[in-house]
Homo-oligomer: A and B are copies of this chain.
Amino acid sequence: MNLSTMVSRAPQVDSTTTDSDCRLVKLSPETLQLVADFFKVLSESSRLQIVCALKLGEKNVSEIIEATGLGQANVSKHLKILAQAGIVKRQQQGVCVYYQIANAFVFELCELVCDSLSVQIQQQSEQIAHLEAFRKA
């Protein structure tokens, strides 16, 4: 069972629309809050730095601190948030604690955003170029 079917059984569902073309339309505010909370976890560059640092494989906390340049308490806090969101997994090995990506789809998300941003930036720079050409003429 996925979230859509869970939500489609909830009372606040709008059943006047078809299933195929508008899954998001049916989501209740409570479900949207869950989605928003997940996006919030990824909305801090420090946490994205940690995620990127784990892209090539697991690291312990000290290695993450070194890779990101963040403070120890800060990294520990962010790792807790990432773990609670199910984005990283924790594994203790003696004194050290190793973290790894638990859900690789975060990279898919980030790359989608990157691609969209690059298109936006390209369009903006083209518009600026047009404006420049117009000003000179």
- Where the two chains meet, the residues of A that have a C-beta atom closer than 8 Å to any C-beta of B are 1-4, 6, 17, 22-25, 27, 29, 31-40, 42-45, 47-49, 51-52, 55-56, 86, 103, 105, 107-122
Contact = CB atoms under 8 A, between A and B. Distances in A.
Contacts of A17: 56
A2 to B, nearest CB: 4
A29 B47 CA distance: 11
A115 B109 CA distance: 12
- State the majority secondary structure of interface residues on A: helix
A24 B111 contact: yes
Contact of A55 (B22, B37, B43, B121): B22
A52 B39 contact: no
18 contacts: A3-B114, A3-B118, A4-B118, A17-B56, A22-B55, A24-B111, A27-B48, A27-B52, A32-B45, A32-B52, A35-B48, A35-B113, A36-B42, A38-B117, A39-B113, A42-B43, A109-B109, A109-B112
